[in-house]
């Protein structure tokens, strides 16, 4: 689906130009949080402009910064956005499969279930992407998974959910 009129596209292009200037300022100031936000915005703007390759570049940069900052919400948003961008260029199923495999391996690790050699990282079309979470070896993919405790999802006999407190950040 295209833009209803040329003025909307022009506004998106102006938005992209302003965001690129903001990104330069954030990099000069070494403000990683701002840099991550701008990369997320640039990724979304490029998606709207159907420039999927550039969208992926900015979402990848957002993901790397979010991992550096241990920003789990940002990491989740970046992964979600990358999935959308990969779907738009026709590799969405492979992205989802890799993510699902990694999540299952993480969950088994947290539960203490032995993870077989075939359940870790598998070669995929995404290997060319330089993302830390796909490249780490011998290190847990996400620090949040190391701190995770299972949360009681079923109510007790009185119908109340019993909260589980842990050291993990929400």
- Residue 123 pLDDT > 90, yes or no? no
For 33-54, the pLDDT digits (tens) are 999 999 999 999 999 999 999 9
Residue 152 banded pLDDT, cuts 50, 70, 90:
very low
**Percentages of the chain per state (helix, strand, coil), in multiples of 5:** 65, 0, 35
Within 13 Å, how many C-alpha atoms sit on residue 7's CB side?
Answer: 0
Model-wide pTM > 0.85 = no
Predicted pLDDT of residue 144:
44
For 128-148, the pLDDT digits (tens) are 454 444 433 333 444 444 444
Question: What number does CATH give the domain 6-147?
Answer: 1.25.40.10
User: Contact 119/101 with Cβ under 8 angstroms?
Assistant: yes
Considering only residues 124 and 109, tell me which one the structure prediction assigns the higher pLDDT.
109
Predicted pLDDT of residue 160:
61
Mean residue pLDDT across the chain:
74
- Candidate from 4-8, 19-23, 161-165 with smallest mean pLDDT: 161-165
User: Contact 63/83 with Cβ under 8 angstroms?
Assistant: no
Give every CB contact of residue 56 below 8 A, 6+ residues apart in sequence.
43, 82, 85, 86, 89, 129
For 65-114, the pLDDT digits (tens) are 999 999 989 998 998 899 889 889 988 665 566 666 666 776 777 777 77
């Amino acid at each position: 689906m295209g833009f209803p009129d040329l003025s909307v596209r022009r506004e998106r292009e102006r938005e992209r130009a302003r965001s690129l200037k903001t990104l330069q300022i954030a990099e000069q100031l070494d403000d990683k949080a701002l840099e991550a936000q701008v990369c997320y915005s640039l990724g979304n703007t490029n998606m709207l402009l159907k420039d999927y390759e550039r969208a992926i570049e900015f979402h990848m940069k957002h993901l790397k910064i979010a991992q550096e900052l241990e920003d789990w919400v940002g990491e989740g948003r970046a992964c979600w956005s990358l999935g959308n961008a990969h779907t738009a260029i026709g590799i969405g199923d492979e992205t989802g499969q890799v993510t699902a495999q990694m999540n299952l391996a993480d969950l088994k690790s947290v539960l203490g279930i032995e993870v077989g050699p075939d359940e870790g990282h598998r070669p995929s079309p995404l290997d060319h992407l330089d993302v830390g979470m796909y490249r780490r070896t011998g290190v847990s993919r996400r620090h949040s998974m190391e701190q995770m405790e299972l949360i009681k999802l079923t109510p007790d006999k009185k119908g109340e959910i019993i909260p589980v407190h842990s050291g993990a950040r929400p």
